[in-house]
Structure 1
């Protein structure tokens, strides 16, 4: 999204055009890499499950030598038949299969996600409403990291116990990003349902920073109240839902003049 915004901000002089060419080239490579290797849906998950390891050369299917045994048990039940999302990270022999709401919403708003992928992300949200929305929008990530692993991954911040804070907590501020993504994909009913959930609790709970628990049922153990960003997130979401044209202030459409490389990965079966 930063690269796309830079194209808009640069002057069309000689120096600006040189940077534009470099940015466009980077966008081609980056978008192809993320759309291809960071995208996960039912078909791709099945492919990873059947990966052979230690393949070499450009013909290798398992390009990052991911071990199928590293697939977490939860992802098989979490992945619906129709739907998909961008995963957290891909590194040699290991993938972070967690769902991150902020990244997936921005992927839609910035047009990193293709129209097919954007629709699949919305399909996933509807299919896994309880896990990702629960009783308070929106889970920052799913699932929470359990046992002692959260201490290693999150820097041992005591707020990051499972289903709390940045480790599976629910953050009302994310409501505006969800609403923008819903409007762009033509699914405003999802945002409306989420906003109604938030309205039933936020004012009564004095606008807390975040919520705890698998369903976001409890006000966060260390959450501050009367948080500006919780209030602002709700207000912006309401304004966009009332006037969808406002989404244009933050939304980037895919530049049709750019010839993006085709996807080599499967997409949601709803498309």
Structure 2
């Protein structure tokens, strides 16, 4: 299965190469410009999905799909946001690309709002979720994803600091993945996907929970680890993902 993140990384690294070396001839080559357009056309194509976030049906990316990340994982949204911004900067604007640039601008605006508004969680947001009404069907619905308060895991309330917060790992109708995924949160800071206040909150959380997220090793990719019955069901008892 082709990973969904590789094309996004290619665009990001292509821009980084130009910035570091000053060699912009590479990104201006016809074949490279064609590659950028092909990736964008694939990501921006219309489908049945109603959200501005990028759908990853099989969870195919750097994180093992057996970790249960299929849907709209944060890491992909952060990379998608960065790739769109890089592409907008590198694309040669002409009659053949002006519609694509307009689509990029529209998607960036919608994606930024979607992630900042619905992926962010802190103590204030947790208290709001506890008061959510369910099965609301109107334009004025507060609980737009029909999230049941019982989905809030027992570890979260005691773990999240008062002065910090983070972007949750995944969001779909009826489902919020409250796990902390390090790459997605840090890349959201780098790419300005989060607001300045949210970015500061993420760094405050990392500092406050240093022993959980860093400890004696580089940053953990996911917290908390899947254990016991949850590990057996979600990973299929995959020994590579043993907690």
TM-score with structure 2 length normalisation? 0.64
Q: CA deviation at 1:136?
A: 1.5
Matching residue of 2:145? 64
Q: CA deviation at 1:77?
A: 0.8
Unaligned 5+ residue runs, structure 2? 1-81
Unaligned 5+ residue runs, structure 1? 163-271
Matching residue of 2:240? 159
* 3-state SS of paired residue (1:123): helix
* 3-state SS of paired residue (2:156): helix
Matched ranges for 1:1-271 at <5 A:
1-162=82-243
* 3-state SS of paired residue (2:228): coil
* 3-state SS of paired residue (1:14): coil
Q: CA deviation at 1:51?
A: 1.1
In structure 1, distance between residues paired with 2:149 and 2:94:
50
Q: CA RMSD in A?
A: 1.2
In structure 2, distance between residues paired with 1:111 and 1:126:
20
Matching residue of 1:171? none
In structure 1, distance between residues paired with 2:182 and 2:236:
21
